[in-house]
């Protein structure tokens, strides 16, 4: 019990503190007293509440504090948090009073969504015919994607030949439907026309005496084979036209010829190409990417040959390029050709003998083969 003497001493102490405080200090002192009184009232109210209610409030407050600790600016609720509030709302009727960071409407929406997902999962099995094997479903989808011109009867016939016992209606159900009308892909289109396409281009080579030499190349698209090359210091339209004739003798010319818009391909060149029944495909100005095969092989020639050689004259460059082009066509493997050379190489077995290396391009590259001892 607090005696009258103690009450008098507390009143005198508070009055003395009040007399000594001024302005903002007085407001801070009043706020601290109010917070203290609120804490006392909350403690007295907790004595009246039931133990189960206090435990529920503590659980709700702890969960919200943990959520706020994981965030920086805005509370980010995970699926576990949503599940907690859904279960908490069904177990305690006063849950709305303790919801500080979640609106009651939001919890109700989560509950409806979970109810929908639950029944979707529960009714996932359909009544009817049993589903077919995954291997067969994947095969149907694969055939329909790889062959857009095929219908269900064609795919069904192929599956029967592969030993799959399935009905045509089932094949139709599992086919991949294309939004666009059936058509071949660009890759298929280009692959079907590569045998009748070739490309030409010119690139420069500086010599030891600071002269400029011009190298003319002709590459076939189908096997990336370098058909022809030549070197000159003074290229003209007549000279380039003669190179086309030497590259494709005896009516072996391709149907299309891809080139850039260089002025070297003048009137005489165009007349000669037209006389050989070759259609010129001129790329857009400043668009070397539209002639990719020629640009790629020029880069390979520079990186793998000319960057390691000091060119002396036309004869020297012609000799070096002849050695490299022979290596390029006969030995060098290409990723686009399934690791094969433009001129197909035979696969040697281990029983053929030991591996022997043959130097190419003066030792810059080597050709490996097997030979019996």
Query: What is the per-residue pLDDT across 137-156, written as a single tens digit (0 to 9) for each?
Result: 899 999 888 887 788 998 99
C-alpha 54/C-alpha 66 separation (Å) is 18
Whether the CB-CB separation of 334 and 224 falls below 8 Å is answered with: yes
pLDDT of 183 above 80: no
Whether the CB-CB separation of 269 and 275 falls below 8 Å is answered with: no
Does a structural domain hold residue 98? yes
Query: Do 221 and 316 belong together in one domain?
Result: yes
C-alpha 317/C-alpha 309 separation (Å) is 9
Percentage, residues of the chain above pLDDT 70: 77
Query: Do 225 and 331 belong together in one domain?
Result: yes
pLDDT of 36 above 50: yes
Does a structural domain hold residue 324? yes
pLDDT of 2 above 50: no
> Directed axis angle between helix 292-304 and helix 314-330, to 10°?
110
Per-residue pLDDT, 99: 67
Per-residue pLDDT, 315: 96
Per-residue pLDDT, 9: 45
Does a structural domain hold residue 108? yes
Beta-sheet pairing, 226-232 with 256-259: unpaired
pLDDT of 202 above 90: yes
Query: Do 144 and 111 belong together in one domain?
Result: no
pLDDT of 98 above 70: no
Query: Do 152 and 237 belong together in one domain?
Result: no
- Of 78, 79, 50, 81, give the one whose Cα is nearest residue 63: 81
The structural domain count of the chain equals: 3
pTM for the model stands at 0.55
In this structure, is the dihedral angle defined by the CA atoms of residues 185, 189, 190 and 194, taken in order, positive or negative?
A: positive
- Render the burial of 160-187: b for 16+ CB within 10 Å, e for the rest: eeeebebeeebbbebbeeeeeeeeeeee
Average pLDDT value for the chain: 81
Whether the CB-CB separation of 193 and 200 falls below 8 Å is answered with: no
Query: Do 152 and 246 belong together in one domain?
Result: no
Query: Do 58 and 94 belong together in one domain?
Result: yes
Full 3-state SS string of the chain: CCCHHHHHHHHHHHHHHHHHCCCHHHHHHHHHHHHHHHHHHHHHHHHHCCHHHHHHHHHHHHHHHHHHHCCCCCCCCCHHHHHHHHHHHHHCCCHHHHCCCCCHHHHHHHHHHHHHHHHHHHCCCCCCCCCCCHHHHHHHHHHHHHCCCCCHHHHHHHHHHCCCCCCHHHHHHHCCCCCCCCCCCHHHHHHHHHHHEEEEEEEEEEECCCCEEEEEEEEECCCCCEEEEEEECCCCHHHHHHHHHHHCCCCCCCCEEEECCCCCCCHHHHHHHHHCCCEEEECCCCCHHHCHHHHHHHHHHHHHCHHHCCECCHHHHHHHHHHHHHHHHHCCCEHHHCCECCCCCCCCCHHHCEEEEEEEHHHCEEEEEEECC
Query: Do 174 and 211 belong together in one domain?
Result: no
Rg (CA), the chain: 42
Query: Do 156 and 254 belong together in one domain?
Result: no
pLDDT of 366 above 60: yes
Per-residue pLDDT, 239: 96
CATH of the domain at 306: 3.30.420.10
Confidence of residue 189 (pLDDT cuts 50, 70, 90): confident
pLDDT of 13 above 50: no
Comparing 234-243, 306-315, 342-351, the range with the smallest average pLDDT is 342-351
Does a structural domain hold residue 12? no
Torsion of CA 121, 127, 128, 133, to 10 degrees: 30
Mean pLDDT over 28-56 rounds to: 63
Per-residue pLDDT, 353: 84
Per-residue pLDDT, 34: 65
Query: Do 168 and 109 belong together in one domain?
Result: no
Which residue range forms the structural domain that includes residue 159? 134-183
Per-residue pLDDT, 128: 60
Does a structural domain hold residue 91? yes
**How many alpha carbons fall within 13 Å on the CB side of residue 270?**
11
Query: Do 226 and 323 belong together in one domain?
Result: yes
pLDDT of 44 above 70: no
Query: Do 270 and 245 belong together in one domain?
Result: yes
Per-residue pLDDT, 116: 81
Confidence of residue 313 (pLDDT cuts 50, 70, 90): very high
Mean pLDDT over 92-106 rounds to: 71
Does a structural domain hold residue 329? yes
Percentage, residues of the chain above pLDDT 90: 39
Query: Do 293 and 165 belong together in one domain?
Result: no
Does a structural domain hold residue 1? no
Per-residue pLDDT, 37: 62
> Directed axis angle between helix 267-275 and helix 237-247, to 10°?
20
Confidence of residue 73 (pLDDT cuts 50, 70, 90): low
pLDDT of 173 above 50: yes
Does a structural domain hold residue 347? no
**How many alpha carbons fall within 13 Å on the CB side of residue 300?**
21
């Amino acid at each position: 019990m607090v005696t009258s003497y103690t009450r008098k001493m507390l009143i005198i102490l508070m009055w003395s503190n009040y007399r000594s405080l001024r302005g903002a200090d007085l407001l801070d002192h009043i706020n601290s007293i109010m917070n203290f009184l609120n804490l006392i009232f909350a403690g007295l109210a907790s004595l009246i509440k039931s133990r189960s209610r206090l435990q529920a409030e503590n659980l709700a407050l702890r969960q919200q504090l943990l959520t706020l600790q994981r965030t920086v600016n805005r509370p980010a609720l995970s699926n576990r948090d949503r599940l907690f509030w859904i279960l908490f709302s069904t177990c305690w009727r006063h849950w709305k009073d303790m919801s500080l960071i979640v609106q009651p409407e939001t919890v109700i929406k989560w509950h409806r969504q979970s109810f929908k997902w639950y029944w979707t999962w529960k009714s996932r099995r359909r009544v009817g015919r049993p589903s077919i094997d995954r291997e067969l479903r994947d095969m149907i989808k694969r055939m329909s994607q790889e062959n857009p011109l095929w219908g269900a009867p064609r795919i069904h016939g192929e599956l029967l030949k592969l030993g799959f016992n399935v009905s045509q209606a089932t094949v139709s159900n599992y086919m991949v439907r294309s939004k666009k009308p059936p058509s071949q892909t660009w890759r298929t289109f280009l692959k079907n026309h590569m045998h009748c396409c070739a490309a030409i281009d010119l690139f420069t080579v500086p010599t030891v005496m600071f002269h400029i030499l011009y190298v003319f190349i002709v590459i076939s698209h189908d096997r990336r084979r370098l058909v022809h090359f030549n070197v000159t210091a003074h290229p003209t339209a007549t000279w380039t036209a003669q190179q086309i004739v030497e590259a494709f003798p005896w009516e072996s010319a391709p149907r299309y010829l891809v080139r850039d818009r260089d002025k070297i391909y003048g009137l005489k060149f165009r007349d000669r190409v037209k006389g050989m029944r070759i259609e010129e495909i001129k790329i857009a100005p400043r668009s070397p990417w539209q002639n990719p095969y020629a640009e790629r092989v020029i880069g390979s020639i520079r990186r793998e040959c000319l960057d390691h050689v000091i060119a002396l004259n036309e004869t020297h460059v012609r000799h070096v390029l002849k050695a490299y082009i022979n290596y390029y066509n006969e030995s060098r493997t290409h990723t686009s050709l399934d690791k094969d050379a433009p001129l197909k190489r035979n696969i040697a077995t281990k029983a053929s003998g030991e591996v022997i290396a043959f130097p190419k391009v003066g030792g810059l590259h080597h050709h490996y083969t097997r030979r019996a001892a």
